[in-house]
Amino acid sequence: MYPELEEAGGLSNALNLEFEKINSVLKVATDDALHQLPFSYARIQKDGKFSQIYIAAEKKLYLPDFWRDGVCLAHAQTESISDLAAVVDYWLNQDVSTQELADKYSFVRPNPNAAAFDQNNEVEQTWNNILQDESRADLRDFIQLAINDNVLNKLFPFTSLYTLCFSRCTGYPYDTDNLPNVTPKAFEFYAPHNGIKSSMQKDCLNSDTQFVVTKNRNEYLGEGNAETALKIVKANLPDNIRPATRGTADD
């Protein structure tokens, strides 16, 4: 199904040839066996953006994604390697929004939160998403307080299993070092100072849900209702804590 890849000797070589045809400065970053059939994969990056390329197994399709500042903002699929090279070149070499990319290339599909990241509104939008997520209803008592706190609501929130975590950056990998986490007591899973404790049994949740606060997911800091948990979190934030910035922990 991919004669152009066989002829070029793999996905990386084929993409590099296509980049040359359109006078692009891009080159595939990967250089290992993954770019060869049947495990074709390629990664192309420039500055704070990159794209990963996969290929479908059941039919001919190139499957790129589009990342900026550690966030996957869109996916696409196309049968044409020429269109693949063109869309990746446009994404990496032009200062465009995700919607502008999709407007130019109809086979691109922005991810649901892409617009918020394009508009520099990702922190507020993510807080609201978690608040409205019915699968995270057990966190709602705490979220309703934290979302109105002028320190916490400027950190980037995300959930890991049942735990609410905070990050200094909005891209993955997140910067969570030395920051508190909040877990509903019904789902507590932590290692407090007096020994390992683990419970994943869910009790009935109500308006006075109890929360366990830890640091780095393993240091027990305290527990209580939403108001108490908020006080514990704020008391254990680093002194120099600032609003979350774009990028990743690696940046």
Average pLDDT, the chain: 90
Per the listing, tokens 């617009």 go with 115
Global confidence as pTM: 0.85
Share of residues in the chain with pLDDT > 70 (%): 88
User: Tokens 């999709």 label which residue?
Assistant: 102
CA 94 from centroid of its chain's CA atoms: 22
Angle between helices 81-93 and 11-21 (to 10 degrees): 70
Quote the tokens at residue 237: 């934030």
39 pLDDT band (50/70/90 cuts)? low
Confidence of residue 206 (pLDDT cuts 50, 70, 90): very low
Looking at residue 193, its pLDDT comes to: 45
CA dist., res. 74 & res. 68, Å (int): 10
Amino acid present at 8: A
Domain ranges of the chain: 3-118, 122-235
pLDDT for residue 101 is more than 90: yes
Q: Which of 38-47, 100-109, 163-172 shows the lowest mean pLDDT across its residues? A: 38-47
Per residue, the 3-state secondary structure of 51-87, as one string, reads EEEEECCCCCCEEEEEEECCEEEEEECECCHHHHHHH
What is the CB-side half-sphere exposure of residue 174 using CA atoms within 13 A?
A: 18
Mean pLDDT of 117-133: 96
CA–CA separation, 145 and 70 (whole Å): 28
**Between 188 and 65, the higher pLDDT residue:** 65
DSSP string, the chain: --HHHHHHTSHHHHHHHHHHHTT--------SGGGSTTS-EEEEEETTEEEEEEE-SSS--EEEEEEETTEEEEEE-BS-HHHHHHHHHHHHHS---HHHHHHH-TTEEE-TTHHHHHTT-HHHHHHHHHHH-GGGGGGHHHHHHHTT-TTGGGSEEEEETTEEEEESBSSSSP--TT-EEEEEGGG-EE--TTS-EE--------TT--EEEEETTTEEEEEESHHHHHHHHHHTS-TT----BSS-TT-
Contacts of 54 by beta carbon, 8 Å cutoff, 6+ apart: 40, 41, 62, 63, 64
Q: What is the pLDDT of residues 151-201, one digit of tens each?
A: 999 999 999 989 999 999 999 999 999 999 999 998 765 544 444 444 434
